[in-house]
């Protein structure tokens, strides 16, 4: 065995895929999740302990019982719109509870931490592709709740905690073997929404903004396959286990795809149309959000294995058809 990894939020979309990849790669995995958004059916790899990251006593006990080498953090609320309506919920769950987890780690001498941050920390892009040097000016409480953790991690580095922060762009796709996939409730991500609309599991899709200065007038986003994110997490883990110091990386495909391109890809994969209605632009939506992940490539040796949109969408379609 390579080492003991605690995955908090491992019953959710990205965490469950990471648990699978880590177990397959020979790591010992414990998943810790309060199941507020995750699924028991996604708990296929590693030991499961039910609990909340704000429960310090439970975490202290867990760290005492299992010799945890590193913590991967996926436990958060992720709805930008909800965060605007209920900011305190997001600062409590995503920020304050993460501080409790970090404190429990410090008390038990666990000093390697991998944190799922988000491109939402950048706010409205001043340039694209967005590099890690882009100023951080989040425009939602969700983005702010993550940035506050990043800032805390920067201060903890001086006290011996080494962390790898990953700022993801749009996580997408599903386990190519079909065991796991994306099941947010409510779902707000374009690819699963388009697939559900095509399969008549929901109303027609709204395409917000068709007059942007982009290739076809619709908004362009950077979709990265969930397994490529997981691959980066394993490289980040190895980096820390080998004595690497705190660092932060963008994770994106480097290529942007428009809303219309995503819909076409879903239609091509499923062989049926995606019912969709053109709507005006939404406030706060940037025309283009694409990440520059060259730092993760040069420092960690990472590169996406599934960069092609049709391949990403295919894995998502296969999972959705089974639900």
Ligand X SMILES: NC(=O)c1ccc[n+]([C@@H]2O[C@H](COP(=O)([O-])OP(=O)(O)OC[C@H]3O[C@@H](n4cnc5c(N)ncnc54)[C@H](O)[C@@H]3O)[C@@H](O)[C@H]2O)c1
By beta carbon distance, the residue nearest ligand X is: 12
Q: Residue 265: which residues within 8 A CB-CB, separation 6 or more? A: 257, 309, 310, 313
Measured in Å, how far apart are the chain's first and last C-alpha atoms? Answer: 34
Q: Which is nearer to ligand X, 165 or 242 (CB)?
A: 165
State the minimum distance, in angstroms, from the CB of residue 191 to ligand X: 10
State the minimum distance, in angstroms, from the CB of residue 167 to ligand X: 8
Q: Which stretches of the chain bind ligand X, using CB under 6 A?
A: 8-9, 11-15, 33-38, 52-54, 74-76, 78, 93, 97, 116, 118, 168, 170-171, 184
Token readout for 203 is 């109303």
Q: Which is nearer to ligand X, 55 or 311 (CB)?
A: 55
Q: What is d(CA 205, CA 41) in angstroms, rounded to the nearest whole number?
A: 28
Which one is catalytic: 142, 212, 223, 239? 142
Q: Which is nearer to ligand X, 11 or 147 (CB)?
A: 11
Look at residue 125 and give its three-state secondary structure: coil
Q: Which is nearer to ligand X, 211 or 220 (CB)?
A: 220
Residue 12 exposed, middle or buried by CB count within 10 Å (0-12, 13-18, 19+): buried
Alpha carbon 31 to chain centroid distance?
16
Q: Which is nearer to ligand X, 69 or 182 (CB)?
A: 182
Parallel, antiparallel, or unpaired for β 247-251 and 205-208? unpaired
Judge whether 142 counts as a catalytic residue.
yes
State the minimum distance, in angstroms, from the CB of residue 302 to ligand X: 16
State the minimum distance, in angstroms, from the CB of residue 142 to ligand X: 7
State the minimum distance, in angstroms, from the CB of residue 154 to ligand X: 18
Tell me the CB-side half-sphere exposure of residue 70, using CA atoms within 13 A. 26
**Which residues pair with residue 7 across a beta bridge?**
31, 72
Where do we find the tokens 């969700």? 142
Look at residue 150 and give its three-state secondary structure: helix
Look at residue 183 and give its three-state secondary structure: coil
Look at residue 291 and give its three-state secondary structure: strand
Q: Which residues are catalytic?
A: 142
């Amino acid at each position: 065995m390579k080492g003991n990894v605690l995955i908090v939020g491992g019953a959710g979309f990205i965490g469950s895929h990471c648990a699978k990849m880590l177990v397959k790669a020979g790591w010992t995995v414990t998943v810790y999740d309060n199941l507020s958004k995750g699924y028991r059916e996604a708990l296929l790899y590693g030991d499961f302990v039910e609990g909340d990251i704000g429960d310090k006593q439970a975490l202290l006990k867990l760290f005492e019982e299992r010799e945890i080498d590193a913590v991967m953090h996926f436990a958060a609320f992720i709805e930008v719109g909800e965060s605007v309506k209920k900011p305190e919920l997001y600062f409590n769950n995503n920020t304050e509870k993460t501080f409790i987890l970090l404190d429990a780690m410090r008390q038990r001498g666990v000093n390697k931490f991998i944190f799922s941050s988000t491109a939402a920390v950048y706010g409205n892009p001043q340039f694209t592709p967005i590099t890690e040097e882009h100023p951080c000016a989040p425009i939602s409480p969700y983005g702010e709740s993550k940035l506050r953790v990043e800032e805390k991690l920067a201060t903890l580095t001086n006290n011996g905690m080494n962390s790898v922060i990953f700022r993801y762009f749009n996580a997408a796709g599903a386990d190519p073997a079909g065991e796991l996939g994306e099941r947010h409730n409510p779902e707000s991500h374009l690819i699963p929404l388009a697939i559900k609309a095509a399969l008549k599991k929901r109303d027609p899709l709204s395409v917000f903004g068709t007059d942007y200065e982009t290739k076809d007038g619709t908004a362009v986003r950077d979709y990265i396959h969930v397994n490529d994110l997981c691959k980066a997490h394993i490289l980040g883990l190895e980096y820390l286990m080998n004595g690497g110091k705190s660092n932060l990386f963008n994770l994106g495909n480097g290529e942007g795809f428009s809303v219309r391109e995503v819909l076409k890809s879903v239609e091509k994969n499923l062989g049926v149309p995606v019912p969709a209605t053109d709507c005006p632009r939404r406030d706060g939506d940037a025309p283009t959000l694409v990440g520059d992940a060259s730092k993760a490539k040069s420092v960690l040796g990472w590169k996406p294995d599934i960069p092609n949109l049709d391949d990403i969408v295919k894995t998502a379609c296969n999972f959705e058809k089974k639900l």
